[in-house]
Amino acid sequence: MRAFDQVLTIAHKELREIVTNRGLLFSGVFFAGWFSLMTGMGVTGEDISRGAELDNSLFYMGALIGLFVGYIYSGQTYLREKQTGIVETLLCSPVSLRSIWIGKALGVALPSWLLSLLSAALIVLVVNYRSTETIMPGATVLLHMLLVVPAFIVAAVALMGFSQLMLGMRENMVVNMLTIMVLFGALAATRVVVEEAQLVTWTAVTGLLSASLGLLLLTSLLGRFLSRERIVRTIS
């Protein structure tokens, strides 16, 4: 229970700092709001086909918005604290390094997921405003937003956090951009599959969930290489 309490303490700290940082919070809200608005406006066609378009858009944009908001917030959570030296204080505390890493990831993933859910709601509102009939997302998309998207965001943020803790400032920029590009490419590939099928299937949802859980497992294995000494040497 002590490790769990440590994770919650760190997560609460990161969440509080994100919420109280108006500039950082606004950047995430603006990004999520703008792209969800554009996505909702882009759903066209007859009311019958518009439902399938809505599901396809939510399947892709829900994870994409969460990914990029997590990328924005993780920069403050990991890199900023290394630049200011705050991470040194955390490393000197009795909290385990793994708890610090996981707590930070959860503290970033939670607001990213919430903004992803709010973005999905905005997309639905925009689509229904422009439609003559009420159109709601299907059960597969709802499960995707409530289960798959948070797992994907946590895995992505934890992976970016690992590289930000273990690498120097210059290497971080390269590795994080590569990570974003790979994850973006994976999401784009799933979107192509969904669009070809013309609907969001349970196979697509379980496939992305399996990939997210696999990424979580990989990230957990990488956590064995976390080292306080290595982190201190990368602080500038």
Q: What's the predicted TM-score (pTM) here? A: 0.84
Check residue 131 and give left, alpha or beta (phi > 0: left; psi -120 to 50: alpha).
beta
- Write the CB contacts of 131 (distance below 8 Å, at least 6 apart in sequence): 47, 50
Q: In whole angstroms, how far apart are CA 197 and each of 11, 109, 192?
A: 39, 30, 9
Write down how long the chain is. Answer: 236
- Write the CB contacts of 84 (distance below 8 Å, at least 6 apart in sequence): none
How far apart, in whole angstroms, are the C-alpha atoms of residue 151 and residue 134? Answer: 30
How far apart, in whole angstroms, are the C-alpha atoms of residue 213 and residue 24? Answer: 28
Q: Give the model confidence (pLDDT) of 143-202 as tens digits.
A: 989 999 999 999 888 888 888 777 766 666 677 777 777 777 777 777 666 666 566 777
Please give the residue that has the higher pLDDT: either 51 or 27.
Answer: 27
User: How confident is the model over 221-228, as a mean pLDDT?
Assistant: 78
Q: Give the model confidence (pLDDT) of 25-46 as tens digits.
A: 888 888 888 888 888 777 765 5
